[in-house]
Amino acid sequence: MLSYQHAYHAGNLGDLHKHSLLAWMLAYLTAKPKPLSYLETHSGRGLYDLAAEASRKTGEARQGIERALDEGWLPPDHPLSEALATIRAQHGPTAYAGSPLIAQHFQRPGDTVHLAELHPAEHEALSRVASFAHLHRQDGFQMAQAVCPPTPRRGLLLIDPSYEIKADYEAIPRQMAKLARKWNVGVIALWYPILTDDRQARMVQDLRAAFPEALCSEVRFPPARPGHGMVGSGMFVVNPPFGLPEEAARIEAIFARLRP
Ligand code: SAM
């Protein structure tokens, strides 16, 4: 299928929720002098320009990261603010870092990064900015199942599918259970949309039953435009790092102010 393009949505409120928690976890994990693996199943192109037509067309970044920066939702020393400042210093004031470049910001010598992206054009764009990583042009779950448990064994896997087909929701709890069995010390983070028809609810219910100790952070926000189906964002984290519940609560409080 592969019709989804993240350039239309980069920097939206879902990205803000996902990327702020991701950056916080990477800052925490890389604060200890032990090597880390970062894996991502659905990487996107890595670098976005919020002044480009795709982004301006939806206006989603305006309601997300641009408003967050203008209104100081995140302190300047938040790990996402710091990662974005680095990206903008390198790529210009309208650049936005996808998750792979957020990971690059925290990468140290000895850390290993594996990125999967199946879409040919997105993979090609990713390959232009991700020489720091092992790139896989294959299904992200196949990559993760093949690489886990990774070396170094300490690490984080981000699963961020485009949810283009209903089967994605059904497959995820099965895939995550298999990955967690193979890699019982890995931090496994799943992003999902909260939709007006609650399509994600069964998946989240199954995940909560399979991983009762996991952290589930959900935020709600107004739809990007009238009739738009996404009204919130979720991050489900297996083996959450120490302190993540408190950080998730801080981020959730920011979003609570946006409720209509
Ligand atoms: N994680 C990125 C970020 O936060 O910057 C955004 C990723 S976007 C939501 C999902 C990506 O998954 C798209 O670029 C799409 O082309 C890719 N994709 C779709 N199906 C895939 C699959 N089976 N395996 C790997 N990538 C896939």
Annotated binding-site residue numbers: 19, 42, 99, 117, 139-140, 160
**Of these residues, 111, 160, 168, 198, which one is catalytic?**
160
- SS3 assignment for the chain: CCCCCHHHCCCCHHHHHHHHHHHHHHHHHHCCCCCCEEEECCCCCCEEECCCHHHHHHCHHHHHHHHHHHCCCCCCCCHHHHHHHHHHHHHCCCEEECHHHHHHHHCCCCCEEEEECCCHHHHHHHHHHCCCCEEECCCHHHHHHHHCCCCCCCEEEEECCCCCCHHHHHHHHHHHHHHHHHCCCCEEEEEEEEECCCCCHHHHHHHHHHCCCCEEEEEECCCCCCCCCEEEEEEEEECCCCCHHHHHHHHHHHHHCCCC
The answer, yes or no, to whether any atom of ligand 1 lies below 6 A from the CB of 168, is: no
Higher pLDDT: 50 or 228? It is: 50
| ipTM metric | 0.99
Beta bridge partners of 135: 115
Within-domain flag for 143: yes
Q: Report how far ligand 1's centroid is from the alpha carbon of 33 (Å).
A: 30
Quick one: pLDDT band at residue 219, thresholds 50, 70, 90? very high
Q: Report how far ligand 1's centroid is from the alpha carbon of 200 (Å).
A: 17
Quick one: pLDDT band at residue 2, thresholds 50, 70, 90? confident
Within-domain flag for 213: yes
**For the residues 212-218, what does the mean pLDDT come to?**
98
Quote the Cα angle for 87-89-90, to 5°.
Answer: 65
Query: Could you give the percent of the chain with pLDDT greater than 90?
Result: 92
Q: What is the CATH number of the domain that holds 33?
A: 3.40.50.150
Quick one: pLDDT band at residue 3, thresholds 50, 70, 90? confident
The answer, yes or no, to whether any atom of ligand 1 lies below 6 A from the CB of 42, is: yes
Within-domain flag for 54: no
Domain that holds residue 21: 13-45+99-256
Nearest residue (by CA) to ligand 1, atom 1, is: 43
Give the whole-angstrom CA distance, residue 161 versus residue 163: 5
Q: Distance from CA of residue 88 to its chain's centroid?
A: 19
Rg (CA), the chain: 17
The answer, yes or no, to whether any atom of ligand 1 lies below 6 A from the CB of 98, is: yes
Within-domain flag for 248: yes
Q: Is the pLDDT of residue 245 over 80?
A: yes
Instruction: Write down the mean pLDDT value for the chain.
Output: 96
* Residue positions counted in the chain: 260
Contact 69, 16 (CB under 8 A): no
pLDDT for res 1: 62
Within-domain flag for 210: yes
* Total domains in the fold of the chain: 1
Annotated binding-site residue numbers for S-adenosyl-L-methionine: 19, 42, 99, 117, 139-140, 160
Strands 187-195 and 230-238: antiparallel
Within-domain flag for 85: no
Quick one: pLDDT band at residue 36, thresholds 50, 70, 90? very high
**For the residues 79-88, what does the mean pLDDT come to?**
97
The answer, yes or no, to whether any atom of ligand 1 lies below 6 A from the CB of 99, is: yes
Within-domain flag for 125: yes
pLDDT for res 161: 97
pLDDT (tens digit per residue) in 126-148? 999 999 999 999 999 999 999 99
Within-domain flag for 207: yes
Ligand 1 atom with the shortest distance to the CA of 158: 1
Q: Report how far ligand 1's centroid is from the alpha carbon of 117 (Å).
A: 6
Higher pLDDT: 166 or 189? It is: 189
Dihedral of alpha carbons 185, 187, 193, 194, sign: positive
pLDDT for res 204: 98
Least confident of 39-53, 111-125, 246-260: 246-260
pTM beyond 0.80, yes or no: yes
Assess whether 111 carries a catalytic annotation. Answer: no
The answer, yes or no, to whether any atom of ligand 1 lies below 6 A from the CB of 173, is: no
Q: Distance from CA of residue 31 to its chain's centroid?
A: 20
Quick one: pLDDT band at residue 165, thresholds 50, 70, 90? confident
